[in-house]
Structure 1
Amino acid sequence: MHLQSNHIIAMAYQYSIHPDINCVYVEHTGTFEVDEEQHQLIEMEANPHFTRGMDILRDISATSFPEIYNFEYFKHQSHSQFKDIASGLGRCKIAWVLGNGRDYGLVRQWVTTLNLTSATIERKPFRDIDAAKDWLNVPKDYSFS
């Protein structure tokens, strides 16, 4: 892990915290590892720049999920893993930007199930980053870099 200002670089992702728009931008590149999202959320929650209630824009358009990720995996594995992490996020929205149909369909199924059981976190998949920004009330011309 490498801390640079408010940018964290670790594993195959980097994230930046933007208090001015109440949003954390997470960009995944390279190989998406099993449980990568959980590691990123734990690091983010420990970051002094992070505030509960910040929205998250998770951009996975440059990579794809491991083959082990399917609806059954998310249904059985991730719900219990995310329960403790989610409590630290507070009331927020999480937008997923996905680069292929398989990942989009998987996340759409998964978030539909999670949104039924979570009153504090609203999740939604997107194929277009501008649509995700709009949903999170981030100006379309806002640059995360």
Structure 2
Amino acid sequence: MPRAERRPATRADAPNVIVIGAGIGGMATGCYAQMSGMRSRIFEKHVLPGGCCTAWSRKGYLFDYCIDWLIGTAPGNDANRVWRELGALDGKTITNFDLFNRVVDEHGRSVTFYNDPDRLERQLLEISPADAP
């Protein structure tokens, strides 16, 4: 899918857009504003842009949701169209794994979140058959 047509934002009378937050939504908004001929400025209170598409550490734990939770990589959905228009997937290879997360409690019990909803449902029912209804 081709990227959206870009119009230069060099006119002195181009509208100004201020975006609060440099997460994925804020950065996409700033890009689309410029692609539409406006001037944009993005403000972020954190030291890095990216919002939940970054990793952070706290009290010895690393929270990295970017790679595990990136949605919209499958062709044909709206998020994929946005990623393609913004060039975010240019030159990237997308790998779809059988599972995207596993949670283990303090007793060693685990739940695996499979990409296949039927497989996920079977596992959840094995863990808790009472939840079937």
Note whether the superposition's TM-score is higher than 0.5. no
Query: Larger strand proportion, structure 1 or 2?
Result: 1
TM-score (norm 1): 0.28
- Using structure 2 for the length normalisation, give the TM-score: 0.30
Higher RCO (CA-CA < 8 Å; seq separation 6+):
1
